[in-house]
Amino acid sequence: MNKEIDLAKKTLKNGNLVIFPTETVYGLGGDATNIEAIKRIYKLKKRPTTNPLICHFKNKEEIDKNFEISKLDNLLINLYWPGPLTLILKRKKESFIQPLLSNNSNLVGCRIPNHPIANKLLESLNFPLAAPSANIATKISSTHPSHLSDELKKNTYILEGGSSTLGLESTVIQTIKNEIKILRLGSITIEELKDKFSHSKITVENFDLKLSPGNQKKHYSPNLPIRLNVLEVHKNESLLNFGRNNLKSLICEYNLSPNHDLNEASKNFFNYLYLIDKTECAGIAVAPIPNYGLGKTINDRLIRASS
């Protein structure tokens, strides 16, 4: 892997883009201090520049150099980094991070991933990586190299790392005094945050398009139309199932978790959605998913995917 990391490093230093694995989904990375690299990310993804990018760092010290961190931010950091938490932080005036990646705002989504390849890549660099999910805008997030579109493959260097271990994106949070605002549902659940931060006010505001990615009305979408919370499957539909029930498809079925395990379902979600989107059918019927824990995140993705 050392040779691959060296090639990825060279690619990034030249202002070009690298796809790399994280524990959540695959990222499309570019030098966060290089405006041309940021422009390449937006252009390749066909993503509007009003949709902010998350910035990935090697360690907290690098974030300290660039951003202001509150007491509550520090509590979250100590608990979840490295891991699937993205914090919205205020950029310091001396930071070299390009404002274009965050709507020319001084508020930026920051994260330290928890994946050996991602961390090794970041450790080799003297700049952080702007890295949205490695997919074309509005399409299904990639949790395996096989999910990557031909357009992405042709225009990037790819570090392969198998399947993502979590399968859902990071939870995006902004703290204001003693309040935790969840701007994007993700791999860290509301219930877990309420349990660990019982003295903080916790709200969900997953509609802020300026601060957090993943809040577009249409997002995470397959090519086939989706029908949610079905009680029966039409004869021309494939089925994305969950748990044990009487739902059956005459064409194709993938069950996110026969045992009603939402952790298993979240890991399988984007992969099964990708596979089922390849079947020859008129649409995708989706079984009801419990709306708690990671089920809330899955349902958020499904609602946007079906828009």
pLDDT at position 198, please? 95
- For residues 295 and 289, the answer to whether their CB atoms sit within 8 Å is yes
Q: Does a structural domain hold residue 239? A: yes
Question: Tokens 């919205």 sit at which residue?
Answer: 88
Specify the number of domains making up the chain. 2
By C-alpha distance, which of 15, 213, 14, 27 is closest to 131? Answer: 27
By C-alpha distance, which of 197, 202, 165, 164 is closest to 185? Answer: 202
Whether 159 and 11 map to the same domain: the answer is: yes
Whether 51 and 193 map to the same domain: the answer is: yes
Phi, psi dihedral angles at 201 (to 5 degrees): -75, 130
pLDDT at position 139, please? 94
pLDDT at position 307, please? 82
Whether 160 and 246 map to the same domain: the answer is: no
Cα–Cα distances (Å) from 94 to 30, 97, 259, in that order, read 20, 9, 51
Whether 96 and 184 map to the same domain: the answer is: yes
User: Which residues sit opposite 19 in a β-bridge?
Assistant: 28, 158
Whether 147 and 268 map to the same domain: the answer is: no
CATH number at residue 126: 3.90.870.10
**Residues spanned by the domain of 287:** 226-305
Instruction: Fill in the amino acid letter for 181.
Output: K
Q: Does a structural domain hold residue 156? A: yes
Q: Does a structural domain hold residue 210? A: no
Q: What's the full length of the chain, in residues?
A: 307
- For residues 26 and 145, the answer to whether their CB atoms sit within 8 Å is yes
Give the tens place of pLDDT for each residue, 93-135. 999 999 999 999 999 999 999 999 999 999 999 999 999 999 9
Whether 83 and 199 map to the same domain: the answer is: yes
The Cα 208–Cα 199 span in angstroms is 24
User: Which residues sit opposite 157 in a β-bridge?
Assistant: 18
Regions of the chain with pLDDT less than 50: none
Whether 157 and 256 map to the same domain: the answer is: no
Whether 177 and 274 map to the same domain: the answer is: no
Whether 231 and 149 map to the same domain: the answer is: no
- For residues 125 and 118, the answer to whether their CB atoms sit within 8 Å is no
